[in-house]
Amino acid sequence: MKLQHMLGQLMFMGVSSTKLTTDEKKFITSNNIGGIVLFARNVESPEQIHSLCTEIQKLRHDLPDKSPFYIGIDMEGGRVQRLKSPFTQWPSLQKLGALNSPSLCFQFSYCMGKELKSVGINLDFAPCLDVLTNPKNTVIGDRSLSSDPEMVSKLSSALVRGYLKSEIMSCVKHFPGHGNTLLDSHFDLPIESSDLNRLNEIELLPFKKAFKSRVDMVMTSHILFHNIDDKWPVTLSEIFLKKIIREECRYRGLIISDDLDMKALTNKYSTEDIAVRAIEAGVDMLLYCNEPLSPPLAIQAITRAVADGRIKEEQIKSIYEKIQSHKTESLTQADPEPWSEAKQWIGHSDHQKIAQAILDGKVPEGLAS
């Protein structure tokens, strides 16, 4: 496999609209792109998103390695859910967490996953495992299950297991925890004073639990913890990715970055430098949500870094093979269900009842608390 095509599998990119453009199709197939992330701009109706996911997966037959695509979306519940009605509108994790019911958390992610799977989405960039220790933190706020790390840990395992049951991959975020920050990394770099002892006692507990529950991916945050790594934000930090995630937490799954075009990074580093440094630090997949020029720049920059000896081609090959192995195991049925079968799951009455019960502050009958 050519280096360019191995690198393409490390790329997760956004697309512009409700259908793929000719240029997008050409770039995706010629570069062997590994994953597509969807946003509200890509969603018009359930049948349209089903059609788009079908179109994306058909492109795999034109890829050099014929590899199925990861198709991911942010579907957390509350204010972060890209799929609108008639899909079930799920309450926030804060409302879910307040009920302190692992059984309900399992049903929450299982039912959500069934709706995602029906239209061809196979990866949810959820759940958020940020422990809300700073009540002034509006970036996370009601996206967090709780301010209690033990409760977030307990419920995170149930959420991951629900996604697994629904045959949807999940991605816990924002490692090692965004719950104590004030700044939004979309616009600036949050700087935290927490040391490793504090992280081990609070922020890392839910992630360790999720790792043991076989979560598919973990998403890194763009936060600088100056008492742990005073030079690099987490996404670009070997200390966080190689030492803490891989060695101390013993996580063997895929590490994906948060959007690499966020100003927390781009205010200080170039697109090219970010891509190369992320791979050096230990990121497996590079996420580019909104800027179509970034993935080609990243591929070119990493190719140059390999040619210069800064990154070993063997490292790229190793990541590529890890992604292929994960896809073989987790994407056995890449194509969406036929629309006639898929549509029955969208906004299913049982899902609506669960969502309404959570909004009402109740655990539905028949579910243990």
Residues forming the active site: 186, 258
Phi-psi region of 173 (alpha: psi -120 to 50; beta: other; left: phi over 0): beta
Phi, psi of 309 (to 5 degrees): 85, 5
Cβ burial of 284 (10 Å; 0-12, 13-18, 19+) is buried
* Residue spans of alpha helices (H) in 73-139: 93-98, 102-119
Give Cα 33 to chain centroid, integer Å.
16
Alpha-carbon distance 349 to 353, whole Å?
Answer: 6
Residues forming a β-bridge with 172: 218
Alpha-carbon distance 256 to 215, whole Å?
Answer: 13
Burial 43-58 (b: 16+ CB within 10 A, else e): beebeebbbbbeebbe
Alpha-carbon distance 271 to 273, whole Å?
Answer: 6
Strand 224-225 to 191-192 pairing:
parallel
